[in-house]
Amino acid sequence: MSAEPWDQLPVYRRIEYELKRYIARHKLKRHDRLPSESQLAAEYGASIGTVRKALNDLEAEKVIYRRHGQGTFVAPRSRRSRILLVSDQEHIYDVLHLDFMNFFLGLLSHANFANLAYEPQIVELEDFLANLEDVSMVYPESAGVIFFRGYSNVLRPAADVLLARDMPFMYYGGNLYPEINSLCSTVCHDEEAIAEMIADYYVKRGFRKAAGIVNSNLITQERSRRFASALARRNMEYREFSEKEELSPIARDFPVFNCFVDFLAVKIIQRLERDCGIRVPDQVAVSGVDNQVFGNWLRPPLTTIDLCHRANGALVMQTFCDFLDGSRRRPFHLDAKLSLLPRESC
């Protein structure tokens, strides 16, 4: 938060905010005792009356409760500090972004199961960027920010502002940006490992060459480059094609299509079967990456790399909370979980 808006807040509001952070930072449990009114007045350089006003507000919010002659205590349902979750997508509830919702559910369920001092809060991209200069005031209980992908168009523009305001943040997504490790903590999918897993599976299936289908999305192009290297190490032939190219000639020369995101694989399967009359997997095989829900709804279901967003959500939540609480002293860089799901399409 910039100095001016914070200074403009009434003192009792600042005390409310600091007490919420105190509860989260010290991992106080329900019924734990808080400092006395006189201690708080001395701590914050405020009058007893100002402290009481702040405590009255917190009691009304059910953050605390008071017992005459005994003191002030953490309420059984006290609020926890928030970790803001920001996606690179403008409309996070789009069906194509169920991966985001699975990740959020992993964050939330682990926060509740492990009784963490923080809980995740989804923040719309437009709202977050519009209020970036005053993020701590707009989201007064926020302790940090998790970016779901969006390094170049979301995190990088926001990083300098968050650093200036001493707001911790981290990134979850593909390890496509080497410079990110010097900027913040990360939990990343190893794109080299994704390429190796698919290449090994192709060898196991007996394929000797493969076509890669890319579109304008940076991630398909980057994954194609890594996949080409993985196949070359196995002495397999590889050629990259645009999704806009005619598929029938490709299918005559290549036994398998590797599509580097699931929604592209779905489009390719539809075009092969509907437009070209080519049956999957009888005449040509197809695979993808992401394990979107509709990949399993396909007939045949799509062979894919599962990015395990829900399990990784739990990992991100725990490690970032450890970092905020000081259990992890330095920024961390962890590999996210991955899993190959061999299905009938390949």
pLDDT in tens, 216-252: 988 899 999 999 999 999 999 999 999 999 999 999 9
Question: What average pLDDT does the segment 47-56 reach?
Answer: 94
Cα gap 287→219, rounded to integer Å: 16
Count CB neighbours of 66 within 10 A. 17
The residue-averaged pLDDT of 179-204 equals 95
HEC sequence for 178-243: HHHHHCCEEEEECHHHHHHHHHHHHHHHCCCEEEEEECCCHHHHHHHHHHHHHHHCCCCEEEEEEC
Can you tell me the distance from the alpha carbon of 115 to that of 195, in angstroms, rounded to the nearest whole number?
37
CB atoms within 10 A of CB 240: 15
Phi/psi at 334 (5° precision): -115, 150
The pLDDT of residue 235: 96
Q: 195, 264, 197: which is closest to 230 by C-alpha?
A: 195
SS3 65: strand
pLDDT tens figures, 248-275: 999 999 999 999 999 899 999 999 999 9
| 3-state secondary structure at position 169 | strand
Structure tokens at 118: 């923080």
- Model confidence at 1, pLDDT cuts 50, 70, 90, reads very low
Joined tokens for residue 153: 């168009």
* Beta-bridge mates of residue 188: 173, 335
Taking the C-alpha atoms of residue 44 and residue 84, their distance in angstroms, rounded to an integer, is 27
| 171: three-class secondary structure by DSSP | strand
Q: Is residue 3 predicted with pLDDT exceeding 50?
A: no
Given a contact cutoff of 8 angstroms between Cβ atoms, the answer to whether 65 and 73 are in contact is: yes
User: If phi over 0 gives left and psi between -120 and 50 gives alpha, with beta otherwise, what is residue 47?
Assistant: beta
The pLDDT assigned to 96 comes to 54
pLDDT of 8-40, one tens digit each?
778 998 898 888 888 877 878 889 999 999 999
pLDDT at 2 over 50: no
Which residue in 79, 32, 77, 36 sits closest to 55, CA to CA? Answer: 36
**Tell me: the pLDDT tens digits for 166-183?**
999 999 999 988 899 999
For residues 324 and 118, the answer to whether their CB atoms sit within 8 Å is yes
